Amino acid sequence: MTQTVLITGSSSGFGRRTVAKFLAEGWNVVATLRDPAAWNGEPSEGLLVQALDVRDESSVAAAVTAATDRFGRLDVVVNNAGAGLFSVFEATPHAVIEELFDTNVFGPMRVIRAALPVFARQGGGRIVNVTSSSAATPTPLQAAYGGSKAALHAFSEALEYELADQGVLVKVVEPGFVPTTGFFAQTAKRFESIPAPEAYLPYVQKQLARFQVEPPPGYFATEDDVATAVHAAATDETGLSRFRVGGDTLDSARAHRQPDADYDTWRRTTFAAS
């Protein structure tokens, strides 16, 4: 039986490559995005392009219904849709932070809530939530963004316990920085719209300079690396719950395995204000 996956945020970046990966592996794919007219991929018998806004409960419900109407079942949901934010917390309007959490945390919750009755009827299913290395290792100027991804990660781990007896597995894919996506351009644009207070400018300039340092070739992940990890999470039978992607993510994981005092020294040295 051909399996079916619903992927949010399919218009570009991780989502677009994840759609291609699952199609190549022979799955039925429900590629969702806020505006289906923006989809310019090749048509496929196993592909349904569907409107879905993770901030709109009725839109989410309609997309899940469309998936089961078209393919008869839904085996995996991939919560990939997300928003970025690069800003000084003090200067960031609360409404902007609420919108961020609505997309990055409450959005996946809406999708999962809509999918669970389908999984119950089928006797099981799988949830793959795409978080970020910022969830485990918060970075400067990403207090709100890292907080949203950390919330999604904690939610995912707790949900894994709740759903295990229902035959539903919960997996987390944790990418680091992926230079080839439009994510950094998106976050940079939002950063420009939220000017940093003057007192923060020296620190902000130092942190921005960090992004100009060229890492060794292959250090950062690519979109295809993330798509491969998502597919691995969707098909994993080993019990692994977290799939880290990228050299920066692996470095932060190694740092976390140090004693607390050593970890604090590492992070303060790495992200020091002076």
CB 7 within 8 A of CB 78: yes
- Alpha carbon distance 159, 107 (integer Å): 15
Rounded average pLDDT per 10-residue block, the chain, 274 residues: 96 93 98 93 92 98 98 98 92 96 98 99 98 85 94 97 97 86 64 84 85 73 92 96 84 79 85 68
pLDDT at 250: 74
pLDDT at 4: 99
- Alpha carbon distance 79, 128 (integer Å): 6
> Which amino acid is residue 81, in one-letter code?
A
Q: Note down the domain range covering 129.
A: 4-270
pLDDT at 161: 97
Q: Could you give the number of structural domains in the chain?
A: 1
Q: Report phi then psi at 53, rounded to 5.
A: -110, 115
Rounded to two decimals, what is the model's pTM?
0.92
Q: How many CA atoms lie within 13 A of 204 on its CB side?
A: 19
CATH value at residue 27? 3.40.50.720
Active site residue 200: no
pLDDT at 164: 96
At residue 79, the 3 state secondary structure works out as: strand
